[in-house]
């Protein structure tokens, strides 16, 4: 070959004489292009020269993220477990009211139309009275079957019923309580928030619907009345209702029949010798309707809230002051013509809850006629 010659269209751009000598140093001739070695890089080699679109985290950063996930799972598990535990331990528990309601009492003396029957022994009086079929003492205080409610188990229902029975026995059948003795056994059963009202009812008893000692329990003046040496006759029922998810109420309706007589001059407390104390015995009947309430704290602490007490008792005089003691009319006595004191609806001050009823002849013993 004679060497490179200019192409027909003229010398290449940048060749001498082309006017582009200043770019001649960067133009490759054909021999350089043919000698150039082409190399195809693999995908991995190509990626090695480029930054990743997402920067990889350090291995410890990945471990930290795993720890955060584990901690979150652990916290959720602990929270769920705590909720389940509290739900099982205190299901449906509601906030307890700060104080229990005050007891409201109604005392109704029952006055007989005729003289009070008596003149025979206390046992004969009982056998010839409507109480002849009643049971003796605590045997007449029977509980219904304990069945679970929507929010209270069978054992809690049984606790409420048993506590209501214990209150009934201690407040109406315990002879020390009946004869004006210590009322500690009754007091210990009360919800603590009712203790002030209970104590005031005994230090300053008054028939105002709230502070009558005989609204809490049955008792007689030990200087005037003694119990005959025969069992107290009893009959009645209990019923239970769930009033809220956090409270139970027990209604008690019982009739108690006491054989009583006047305290003898020697201070004897019961009739002993036939023909003396027993012959002067008479019957005194008390019908008592009570309403008790229990929340979960009461059930756990063996306490009761006494909400309502409605007492009918006779034979008594209508004018008898029975806030501190029940005052029976004894054998041969009459009620008289006294009536409750006038009530002035315009007067302010202490509320009067004076009521009186007539004792039906059928509620008194039917004495056998002398032959």
Per-residue pLDDT of the chain in tens (371 residues, 90 and over written 9): 455 555 555 555 555 555 555 555 556 566 666 666 666 666 666 665 555 555 555 555 556 667 787 888 888 888 888 877 776 655 555 555 546 789 999 999 999 999 999 888 999 999 999 999 999 999 999 999 999 999 999 999 999 999 999 999 999 999 999 998 879 999 999 999 999 999 999 999 999 999 999 999 999 999 999 999 999 999 999 999 999 999 999 999 999 999 999 997 655 544 433 344 445 799 999 999 999 999 999 999 999 999 999 999 999 999 888 999 999 999 999 987 766 555 556 666 655 556 888 898 888 888 766 54
Q: What is the pTM of this model?
A: 0.70
Instruction: Evaluate whether 200 touches 92 at the Cβ level (below 8 Å).
Output: no
> E strands within the chain?
104-112, 135-136, 225-227, 233-244, 247-262, 282-295, 305-314, 357-359
Alpha carbon 310 to its chain's center? 22
At 292, list the tokens. Answer: 């008790």
Cα distance between residue 266 and residue 138, in whole Å:
31
The whole-number pLDDT of residue 87 equals: 66
The whole-number pLDDT of residue 273 equals: 39
Cα distance between residue 339 and residue 357, in whole Å:
10
């Amino acid at each position: 070959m004679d060497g490179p010659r200019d192409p027909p269209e003229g010398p290449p751009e940048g060749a001498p004489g082309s006017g582009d000598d200043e770019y001649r140093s960067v133009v490759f001739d054909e021999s350089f292009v043919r000698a150039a070695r082409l190399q195809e890089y693999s995908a991995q080699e190509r990626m090695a020269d480029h930054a990743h679109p997402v920067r990889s985290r350090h291995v410890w950063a990945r471990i930290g993220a795993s720890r955060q996930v584990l901690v979150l799972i652990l916290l959720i598990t602990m929270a769920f477990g705590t909720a389940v535990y509290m739900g099982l331990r205190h299901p449906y528990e509601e906030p307890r009211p700060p104080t229990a309601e005050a007891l409201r009492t109604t005392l109704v003396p029952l006055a007989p139309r005729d003289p009070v029957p008596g003149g025979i022994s206390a046992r004969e009086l009982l056998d010839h009275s409507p109480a002849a079929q009643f049971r003796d003492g605590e045997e007449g205080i029977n509980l219904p079957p304990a069945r679970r409610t929507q929010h209270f188990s069978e054992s809690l229902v049984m606790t409420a019923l048993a506590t209501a029975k214990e209150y009934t026995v201690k407040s109406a059948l315990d002879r020390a309580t009946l004869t004006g003795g210590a009322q500690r056994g009754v007091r210990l059963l009360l919800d603590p928030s009712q203790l002030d009202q209970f104590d005031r009812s005994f230090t300053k008893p008054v028939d105002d619907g709230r502070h009558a000692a005989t609204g809490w329990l049955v008792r007689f003046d030990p200087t005037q009345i003694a119990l005959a040496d025969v069992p107290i006759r009893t009959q009645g029922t209990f019923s239970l209702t769930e009033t809220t998810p956090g409270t139970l109420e027990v209604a008690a309706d019982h009739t108690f029949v006491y054989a009583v007589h006047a305290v003898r001059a020697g201070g004897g407390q019961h009739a002993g010798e036939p023909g003396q104390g027993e012959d002067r015995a008479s019957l005194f009947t008390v019908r008592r309707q009570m309403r008790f309430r229990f929340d979960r704290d009461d059930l756990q602490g063996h306490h009761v809230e006494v909400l309502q007490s409605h007492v009918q008792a006779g034979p008594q005089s209508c004018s008898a002051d029975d806030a501190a003691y029940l005052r029976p009319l004894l054998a041969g006595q009459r009620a008289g013509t006294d009536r409750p004191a006038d009530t002035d609806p315009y007067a302010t001050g202490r509320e009067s809850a004076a009521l009186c009823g007539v004792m039906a002849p059928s509620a008194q013993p039917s004495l056998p006629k002398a032959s």
